[in-house]
Structures are given as structure tokens and as C-alpha cells.
Structure 1
Amino acid sequence: MYKKTPLEQWILKKITGSAGETGQLTRTLIENYQLMKLKETIALAAGKSPFYRGASLGRFPLDKFRTLTDLRDLPLTTADDLKQNPLRFLCCSQDEIKRVVTLESSGTTGSPKRLFFTAADQELTKDFFHHGMTVIARPGDKVLILLPGERPGSVGDLFAESVRRMDVLPVPHGIVRDPGYTLEVMEREQVDTLLGIPVQVLALACHEPPGEKKYRIKIKNVVLNTDHVPRAIVNRIKEQWGCRVFNHYAMTEMGLGGGLECEAFSGYHLREADLFFEIINPDTGVALPEGEEGEVVFTTLTRRGMPLIRYRTGDLSRIIPEPCPCGTILKRMAPVRDRVKGRIALAGGGLLSMSTLDEALFAVKGVLNFQAVISSANGADRLAVKVQPAARTVGEIPALIQRALLSIPVIAQNCGKGALILEPVAVDRSPELWRPAKRFIQDWRQKGETEHERVI
């Protein structure tokens, strides 16, 4: 029997102003609230955002906006729109902006995306972090924050301020550079909960060789903060620490939070009082029914500095139509496994994605991270993989990686046809972890590098 996610009572209070009794939140209540907030957001954007005013929103008749499905009549917003002129999205003066986040392009060229947040927008994030952590932690717990937190308003700083509201002690740390040092901090501070990037937490869990227990630590909970978490990473962390591992679906564009798993670990419970989600056909833009996989699109409901309407995330997922085992009426989204542009065609037929490589290669004990590059020569594709292993596993890693690659059907089939050549596996023996960055298959087969992103 699972405990119902506390996010349900939090959303009830946001909608009605009162926590109420269990069971008082209904889909009708949520959807009426979302419709009201959508109208407010569209009116705000049409009146104050130069971008949306020029995107036909100013001519959209709000009096005919009667159901949530009417939102489908509005145009989609893309990452390229944000890159071209982010200031055109602003609905307030720049004096009201408290935090600007710049997201660099993953490609070799291209403008960065810039996101603007007011103090009120940041409070929405802190409120979600606070109540989201009640799913995971208890008063008196200590949480190590393995995210950037040096600047006021950064994700680590917002998270630290949020958990203090529930009497959880934050231990700010930042990005992991030296796993041994971070493990010493964990031991000294007696932390029992971690919040971090999947590959960084994996490096901590696998730092000690099998059978060694130098560090006296006891981890109860791990929160992996990203858009996609390979199942293989979750399994290895659980195996090493015997802890619960929660996935937090997040993008900066969402205001750093979109959904969080409950104790049933059966999909993300969505932040429905602040965001409205749709799933669309990525090729046609047509909205899809619940249960069908497509591209995740969201609209902000409560953000006032830089609202986003029907923003295309590039993530592939689906809304799960069945009820959650925890008993909530909140919608659930299946874990993101791929990106719309993350599946690349191989010369011998079939598609290869970063998520496929993730599940195969992270299942190899000792692998902490890897990079993949596709090139071509003499009419055949060539796949080069570079791996960062844990200490004392370097010698056997290349053979294990080669075997794991050939366990992937599309790779084995292309190799069998002579259409794909596997380059010798490269191993990075440097003790310092690679800096967190977008992870993607780099496609060098055509002029100009095409990169298929995967943030983990």
C-alpha cells in the first residue's frame, strides 16, 4: 500500500486556498482552474509580450476559449523562437527580473536560450521544491545538493531555501569534481539524501571498489534531477546503496520543475497547478490522446515574467491513462526515454538513439559516463565510443563495452551487413569527472555537426 503523493493536497490548496480533506480534489476542479489560468496567461501574453502579440494571440477570441482543447488552436512555441529574441517574450519590465538563466546551445554554432524569472516566478519554484520534497524527505533529514548553488536564485540555492521550510537541513555542495572528496563530505555531514545529476550520483555510488567500505555513509533517498534518467543508472545506484531513487522531470523552461515520482515509482506526477501539459505528434503538431507517445508540450499557468505558451520540449513521452497505485487523481507522465531529434538513421537501416546506448552501456559495471560519435568512411558508418570508468576497472572495460554494443540489435544487424564499423573503445583514465553537459550522439557524417541531445 503506497502513501498518496502529498502533491495532491498541495495542488488542492493552490487551487482553492485551503488544504481541505483527502479526496476533495477532482479532475473537474483541476481542469476548471487550468482553464481559468490559461485564459489569464493568454491575455497577459497577448497584451504585453511582443512575441505573442505578433503570433496571433492578440486576435484570439478569449470569449470562445471554453475548453482546454481550444488551446490547440494556438501556435506552438519552439526553442528557436526563444533563441532569436528572448526579450520579446517578457511581460514585465526588466527591472522586475531577478534571475536570468542562459542555456548554451549544444551544437558548434547557434545562439543560447535565455530565460527570465521574477521574484514571484522563483517563489513558484521554491514552493514546488518544498512540497515535492515532502514526498521524499522528513524533518531532520540532511540533503546534499549536488547542483550549482553559488549564485542567488540558482537551482541549488532555490532548493536549499525550499527544504529549510520543512525542517530539512540542506548541505550545499555544487557539481562533483572529486568523488572521494564528496564522499568525505557525505560522511562528515552524515547526509542521508542526495539531489543531483544522474551520472554524478552514479560516480559517487560506484567510487569504492566492490567489497570496500571506507566511507561510513547511509543513504536513504536519491533524487535525480533531469529530463531523462536511464533505468540502468537507477538500478546501479539502488544496488550500491540500497536506497530509494526518485526521478524529478525538470527543464529550466518549466521553471526548473515539471513532475516528480511518488513512492510507487510509476511515472511523474505533474505540476498541474502551474503547468498544463499536452502530447503532440512531433511531425504534424496535432494533439494526441492519452496513452499515445509523442512530444511533450507545456504551457505555464502562473508565471508572469516570461510565460510560455505551448512550448515544445523535444522530449518524447506519454500521459499514462491508468490510475497511479498511490491513489492520486493527478495525471502521470511516463519517464522520458528519447528526444524527438535523438534517433538517427544508420546506413544499413534502423535507428540508434542515446537512450538505447544508455541502457546498454550504463549496465556495464564500472562505467561512469561515455561519449558516442557517428562518422562515415568508404560507404559505412563508424561508431566511436569513449568511456570514463570507475577506478580499478579500466583494463576490462573496452571488451565489456564492445560486447554491450553488439547486444543492441540495430548495431549488431548493421555490423553484420558491413554497414557499421565499431571503432576501438577509448578509455579516459583521468581521475576528475567530466563536467556535466548535454549528452548526445554526435553525427559527423554530413557537413556540419548534427548533435542529438540528451541531458542527464
Structure 2
Amino acid sequence: MSAATLDPWMAARMGLAAPLTRAAVDAWGLARLNQTIVHARAASPFYRARRDFPDSPLARIEELARLPFTTAADLLADDPPLLALSQSAVARVVTLETSGTSGPPKRLHFTPDDLESTVDFFDHGMALFTRPGDRAAIAFPGRHPGGVAAGLAIALRRLGAVPVAAPSPLDPVALAGWLRETRPDVVAGPPVPLLAAARVAANDGGAPIRARAVLLSSDHVADSLACGLEATWGAEVFRHWGMTETGYGGAVDCAFHCGCHLREDELLVEIVDPDTGAPAPAGAVGEVVVSTLRRRGAPLLRYRTGDLARLIEAPCPCGSALRRLVGFAGRVGAGALLPGGDTLTLPRLDEALFALEAVSDFVAVLDRGAPATLTLSIAAPAPVRVAATLAAVRARLAEDPIVGAALRAGALRVEAAFADAVALSSPAKRRLTIREATPCAQRC
């Protein structure tokens, strides 16, 4: 192999010979999937009550489409319960107010084995770019036992690195100061808060922040944002995809940055058409659907994550046989259809606006109408909170193929103003707010 990969560890986890082959991984995944179906149907009241499951085992991975979906609504209702073990076997219960969605909270149950498996994944994923003795700054919020920050700290100690967790919460100014004091070799955290801290530090006249590597997770990572951090900190940026439903860990970038390698010893991933639920064509963007392969407490079968991405089957230049997720395109249904048929999404706005060195964060609201109005509240460090920055925002949007076309056609107008802050992001995932025109506005 030409670079460090997860494959040797993954082969050991699966009990397969190294080097891994695609055929061996697929055969192992199919066998584990059939075992999970049997367990879920026998032990989970939710899956036992389903009447739309096939009676016979799946003979091929492609037959996965025979199984019904599990949805966020099913997790919300929890009636009948999803839990497949007694409450005494549960080590941690996570209540999600949001997970890229809105509505009542979901409750997810994790056993000690689930938590240990995640720490093991963090250990080997971070080892792709972390060295023994490194100071590793953890900028994820919350340090409760069993959470992301706590699990990451355990994994880093196993690597021989020194984890340093940020006090929580920190605004961008405080986060920039903490990173200067910590002087990390590696940083792990959410993308926009780290970018905001980087841009504060680049404009406050203080000492520059430097890091060798940065892991970004918990929200969409625009290429322009990653490039901004690389340029400002001199760091190599790695991406991670995951969510609480996947046991936090899901897929991680390698040194070739050709997509995030899936945690295939735990997750079987497919891509479906978000409208029809049918399997998406190979290489097409669609909704990410996951089935858990080891989870005993709360197994998930064909869980619709709501995330949009592409699945790559071909081997990575790093030599890994693991499949990769690429082309992350935001959330299902989170875009706004503009006159002319094109869709405006938050990832598209991220790509355009984070390319501007003055923009540290923004909030976007689209009011439908004739024309539609895109209102932007721009966060920027004080020294660059000037008229030229707002002019650059408008110019950058005019260059975007979709936004620019709508502006030139008179179907969209942009209103931009500064926020009295350097960052606007909330603990929940960022979103494009879409407001329908009122009847009065439509008449007028």
C-alpha cells in the first residue's frame, strides 16, 4: 500500500486475511447483515412487529432493497420500542433535539461494546495523521462520558498523543486564544467554529495559529472552508462523516483526500433516490442509507439518514479496498427551488462565501416571492467589517452559476448586512431557512 489505511485494522476486526479485497468485504457484510436481521426480528419489538420483511436470508447484497426503510419518524415514535436488549445492558442513552432535522427528540441506546467500537474507530482513524507525543486539541462541545469529545480523548491517549479539550462553550475570540495557548499539532472540531477562530486570529494582530493536521466533523465541510484553514494554519485538512445514529463514527478521509473511507465493519451503506427510495445509479448523488452490522442493543436496518452523498466503489489511490463517501451535498429537502428549476442549498452558499477571507460565518434566509429574496447576515472579524466585504459577498454570489443566473434573470435579489458577531452558528447543524411568501405578499 502507498499510504496508511484502515484496511489492516478492518481486516482484523472482520476476521479476514489481509490485504482486504472488495469481494471478501462484501461477503462478510452480507453474512453480518443476515445475522443482524435475525437478531433484530427476534429481539427488537419494533422490527418484530414489521410485516414487510422477507422470510428468507438475503442471497446477494443487491437484495437489501427488499427490506423496508427505518426512518427518523420511527425513532421518534419508538412505538413499539427499537431497543433489542434490556435497559440494564445499556451504557448510554443519547437524546437528540436535532440531528440535521427538526421536531421532537430521538432517543438512541448504546451498549458498552458500541462505545468501545467507536473509540476503536477513532483510535485508528486519528492514527492516519496523528503521531505519538502530538498535542491534540479537541474543540467539539460537550465532554460527557460516552460522548464524541470524551471518546476522542480516550482514543488519542491510546495513540500516545496528548488530548487537550477546549472549555465549552467558546466564542471564536476565546477559541482563537485557547488554540494559541494550546499550540496543538492536531486539531479536531466542527468546521465553521474553527474557521471563525482562524479568521479572528488572522485579523487581530496576534501570533499566528499553526497545526499540522485538522479533522473536521459534525457538519458539512465546503472545499473553500477546508482550503481556508489549510492556507491560514498551514494544516492538512481531513474530513469525517458520521452521526449519532451511526455510533458517531462513520467514515474518515485519508491522505489522498479522495473521499471518506467507510467503517465497513460496523455499517453497510447504500445510496437511494431520495424521492422514490429506489437504489440510485452507481456513482450518483443520493440519500445515504445505513444498516448496522454489529449493534445488539439498538440495531438499525436501512436507516434513512437524510444526508446526500455519492458512494465510490473503486479502490482509493491509498490502496484501501474500503468504499468511500464523496460529494456531500447537504440534507434531503433542505434546498430551495429557484425560478428556472435550479436548487439553492446551504452547501452552495458555503462554497461561495467561505472562499472570502473576511467571512467567518453567515446565516441565510430565503423568502419565496417574485422575486425571491436571499437575506444574508454576515459574521466577520471587526477589522474586515467594511463595505468592501459586503460588495465582495455580492460579487461572489453573482459568479455562482445558479445564484448568478437567478440574479441576472431578476428572479432573485440579495440583501446582505453585517451581524454584530464573529460567528453565528448554534450547537445544531446550520441550515438555510426558507420562508413562504404570505398571501398579501403574493398579491402585492
TM norm structure 1? 0.90
Q: 1:106 to 1:162 in 2, by over 3 A?
A: closer
What is residue 75 of structure 1 aligned with on the other side? 68
- Report the residue type matching 1:181 in the other structure: A
How many residues are aligned here? Answer: 438
What is residue 24 of structure 1 aligned with on the other side? 19
Q: 1:25 to 1:432 in 2, by over 3 A?
A: closer
**Aligned 1:130-141 pairs, distance under 5 A:** 130-141=123-134
Tell me, yes or no, if the aligned pair for 2:176 and 2:201 is still in contact at 8 Å. Answer: no
**Aligned 1:160-179 pairs, distance under 5 A:** 160-175=153-168, 177-179=170-172
Q: Report the 3-state secondary structure (helix = DSSP H, G, I; strand = E; otherwise coil) of the residue aligned with 1:207.
A: helix
Q: 1:285 to 1:447 in 2, by over 3 A?
A: farther
Tell me, yes or no, if the aligned pair for 1:374 and 1:443 is still in contact at 8 Å. Answer: yes
1:244 aligns with 2:236: yes
1:197: Cα distance to partner? Answer: 0.3
What is residue 199 of structure 1 aligned with on the other side? 192
1:245: Cα distance to partner? Answer: 0.3
1:417 aligns with 2:409: yes
| Residue in structure 2 matching 1:440, options 422, 431, 441 | 431
1:43 aligns with 2:38: yes
What is residue 392 of structure 2 aligned with on the other side? 400
Q: 1:46 to 1:161 in 2, by over 3 A?
A: same
**Matches of 1:334 and 1:3 in 2, distance apart?**
19
**Matches of 2:100 and 2:210 in 1, distance apart?**
40
1:24: Cα distance to partner? Answer: 2.9
Q: Report the 3-state secondary structure (helix = DSSP H, G, I; strand = E; otherwise coil) of the residue aligned with 2:137.
A: strand
1:390 aligns with 2:381: yes
- Report the residue type matching 1:3 in the other structure: A
What is residue 330 of structure 1 aligned with on the other side? 322
Q: Report the 3-state secondary structure (helix = DSSP H, G, I; strand = E; otherwise coil) of the residue aligned with 2:201.
A: coil
Q: Report the 3-state secondary structure (helix = DSSP H, G, I; strand = E; otherwise coil) of the residue aligned with 2:47.
A: helix
| Residue in structure 2 matching 1:155, options 148, 168, 174 | 148
Q: 1:442 to 1:419 in 2, by over 3 A?
A: same
1:68: Cα distance to partner? Answer: 1.5
Q: 1:105 to 1:149 in 2, by over 3 A?
A: closer
What is residue 215 of structure 2 aligned with on the other side? 223
Deviation sequence 1:44-98 (CA, Å, 0-9, x none)? 11112122112236x5324x42222222100011112211227711111122222
Q: 1:400 to 1:90 in 2, by over 3 A?
A: same
Deviation sequence 1:274-295 (CA, Å, 0-9, x none)? 1001111122211134322221
1:151: Cα distance to partner? Answer: 1.3
Tell me, yes or no, if the aligned pair for 1:132 and 1:260 is still in contact at 8 Å. Answer: yes
Q: Report the 3-state secondary structure (helix = DSSP H, G, I; strand = E; otherwise coil) of the residue aligned with 2:307.
A: strand
**Matches of 1:28 and 1:107 in 2, distance apart?**
34
TM norm structure 2? 0.92
1:15: Cα distance to partner? Answer: 1.0
Deviation sequence 1:9-33 (CA, Å, 0-9, x none)? 111000117xx6xx53222221222
Gapped regions of structure 2 (runs ≥ 5): 440-444
**Aligned 1:23-422 pairs, distance under 5 A:** 23-56=18-51, 60-62=54-56, 64-85=57-78, 88-105=81-98, 110-175=103-168, 177-209=170-202, 212=205, 214-215=206-207, 217-377=209-369, 379-395=370-386, 396-422=388-414
Tell me, yes or no, if the aligned pair for 1:276 and 1:300 is still in contact at 8 Å. Answer: yes
What is residue 11 of structure 1 aligned with on the other side? 10
1:416: Cα distance to partner? Answer: 2.8
Deviation sequence 1:203-231 (CA, Å, 0-9, x none)? 2221124594x236431010001352100
Tell me, yes or no, if the aligned pair for 1:229 and 1:247 is still in contact at 8 Å. Answer: yes
- Report the residue type matching 2:381 in the other structure: A
RMSD value, Cα: 2.4
**Matches of 2:49 and 2:187 in 1, distance apart?**
44
**Matches of 2:425 and 2:287 in 1, distance apart?**
30
What is residue 452 of structure 1 aligned with on the other side? none
Tell me, yes or no, if the aligned pair for 1:258 and 1:270 is still in contact at 8 Å. Answer: yes
Tell me, yes or no, if the aligned pair for 1:84 and 1:111 is still in contact at 8 Å. Answer: no
- Report the residue type matching 1:198 in the other structure: P
**Matches of 2:404 and 2:10 in 1, distance apart?**
48
Deviation sequence 1:146-187 (CA, Å, 0-9, x none)? 113431111101111111111111101155523343334333
**Matches of 1:439 and 1:118 in 2, distance apart?**
30
Q: 1:431 to 1:34 in 2, by over 3 A?
A: closer
Tell me, yes or no, if the aligned pair for 2:364 and 2:432 is still in contact at 8 Å. Answer: yes
**Matches of 1:314 and 1:36 in 2, distance apart?**
26
Q: Which moved more, 1:268-277 or 1:70-79?
A: 70-79
Q: Report the 3-state secondary structure (helix = DSSP H, G, I; strand = E; otherwise coil) of the residue aligned with 1:77.
A: coil
Q: 1:67 to 1:333 in 2, by over 3 A?
A: same
Deviation sequence 1:315-338 (CA, Å, 0-9, x none)? 222222432111111112214123
Q: 1:390 to 1:86 in 2, by over 3 A?
A: farther
- Report the residue type matching 1:145 in the other structure: I
Q: Which moved more, 1:33-42 or 1:95-104?
A: 95-104
Q: 1:83 to 1:289 in 2, by over 3 A?
A: same
What is residue 453 of structure 1 aligned with on the other side? none
1:393: Cα distance to partner? Answer: 0.7
Percent of aligned positions with the same letter in both sequences? 38
Q: Report the 3-state secondary structure (helix = DSSP H, G, I; strand = E; otherwise coil) of the residue aligned with 1:195.
A: strand
What is residue 442 of structure 2 aligned with on the other side? none
Deviation sequence 1:302-353 (CA, Å, 0-9, x none)? 1111111101112222222432111111112214123221322123542211
**Matches of 1:103 and 1:85 in 2, distance apart?**
13
**Matches of 2:28 and 2:438 in 1, distance apart?**
49
Q: 1:202 to 1:338 in 2, by over 3 A?
A: same
Gapped regions of structure 1 (runs ≥ 5): 449-456
**Matches of 1:436 and 1:179 in 2, distance apart?**
14
1:142: Cα distance to partner? Answer: 1.2
